[in-house]
Amino acid sequence: MVTAKELASRPERFYPGHRACSGCGFPQAIRFVLKAARNPVVVSVATGCLEVTSTAYPYTAWNCSFIHSAFENTAATMSGIVGAYEGLKRFKGDDNRQLDFIAFGGDGGSYDIGFQALSGAMERGHDFLYVCYDNGSYANTGVQRSGATPRGAHTTTTPAGDRSHGKPQFRKDLTGIIAAHNIPYVAQSAISHWRDVVTKAEKGLAVKGPAFLNIMAPCRLTWGTPPEETIDVTRHAVESCFWPLYEVEDGNWVLNFRPKKKRSFIDWLRRQRRFSHLFRKEKENVNLLQELEDEVENRWKRLLERCQEPH
């Protein structure tokens, strides 16, 4: 287990001075993952907040090789980079230096528009780590719904209104879908648990073949939370079992964190402005709130079964 002190001594590859919002979740995710890399890193990033806030020409926050191509193709772009690396080994003999390859995408670039390229790259087996920083919306374009947006959340394309309770559908389980690709390493983590992020990124980089890491990293504009609460609202998501921390290593499901005492999922909703419409007339929405809670509970139970944990 890495210590904070040791982590601080490792090279910084994502520099301060980027233009992410105060209280934004993804800079922590990016820094933790990059700190896990022990070799020089090549990064590919999907279009999104991460890219636009870190590369405004002529500035860059990246102290490593970096490419941004488009929104939906970061996994495909990385396929070509890893392909060049592998191909050069054959052309030049085995004298290549060791490099770590990491592709980053938000939930829009991973769950939705980039899903095909992600699935294709995982199936083909390229040796790189794909990291999704999941904030549950298309934040870069001004908070529209994504496949990762939770049911009931207000977004600018699923606004709460007289006939709307926010997003009507439950969220897609991308981590589970990628696990079904039977790749060497799949994990879910959250920026509130930095050691968990670093450990999982290290594991993902160490395996031969593709690895996938889904990190909850809130957007406070999407979630409607004060900047100083970003870490705690993430921890609350984990401790209410909305966002469990687990990993799938060679098909073996392992639960990494089980709260001694579950925090209230309803309270987690209550502290975010995107769910505030559900509590304005709370009694009218009691059934909906129950459905939301039941879904979290059902998904948690299914995960416990997969991890062979007692209920």
- Could you tell me which stretch among 73-81, 130-138, 198-206, 232-240 binds other proteins (CB under 8 A)? 73-81
Q: Is 4 in the site for other proteins (CB under 8 A)?
A: no
Cα(166)–Cα(275) distance, rounded to whole angstroms? 8
Q: Is 84 in the site for other proteins (CB under 8 A)?
A: yes
Q: Name beta bridge partners: 103.
A: 44, 130
Q: In the complex with other proteins, which residue's Cβ is closer, 40 or 259?
A: 40
- Could you tell me which stretch among 48-56, 158-166, 265-273, 303-311 binds other proteins (CB under 8 A)? 48-56
Q: In the complex with other proteins, which residue's Cβ is closer, 72 or 134?
A: 72
Residue from the set 33, 34, 81, 211 that interacts with other proteins by CB under 8 A: 81
Closest of 102, 84, 104, 83 to residue 39, by C-alpha: 102
Residue from the set 10, 65, 181, 266 that interacts with other proteins by CB under 8 A: 65
Q: Is 127 in the site for other proteins (CB under 8 A)?
A: no
- E strand or H helix at 215: strand 211-216
Long-range contacts from 120-123, C-beta under 8 angstroms, 24+ separation:
120/75, 120/76, 120/79, 121/75, 121/76, 121/78, 121/79, 121/210, 122/75, 122/178, 122/181, 122/183, 122/210, 122/212, 123/181
Cα(284)–Cα(288) distance, rounded to whole angstroms? 9
Cα(135)–Cα(143) distance, rounded to whole angstroms? 10
| Count of residues of this chain found to bind other proteins when the rule CB under 8 A is applied | 45
Other beta carbons within 10 Å of 291 = 14
Q: In the complex with other proteins, which residue's Cβ is closer, 58 or 310?
A: 58
Please state the closest distance from residue 126 (CB atom) to other proteins, in A: 8
Q: Which residues, in sequence order, are CB contacts of 287 under 8 Å at separation 6+?
A: none
List the structure tokens of 199: 């450990």
Residue from the set 2, 10, 124, 263 that interacts with other proteins by CB under 8 A: 124
Q: Is 11 in the site for other proteins (CB under 8 A)?
A: no
Q: Is 69 in the site for other proteins (CB under 8 A)?
A: yes
Q: Is 58 in the site for other proteins (CB under 8 A)?
A: yes
Residue from the set 18, 28, 48, 51 that interacts with other proteins by CB under 8 A: 51
Residues that bind other proteins (CB under 8 A): 40-42, 44, 51-52, 55-58, 60, 62-70, 72-73, 76-81, 83-88, 90-91, 97, 99, 116-117, 119-121, 123-124
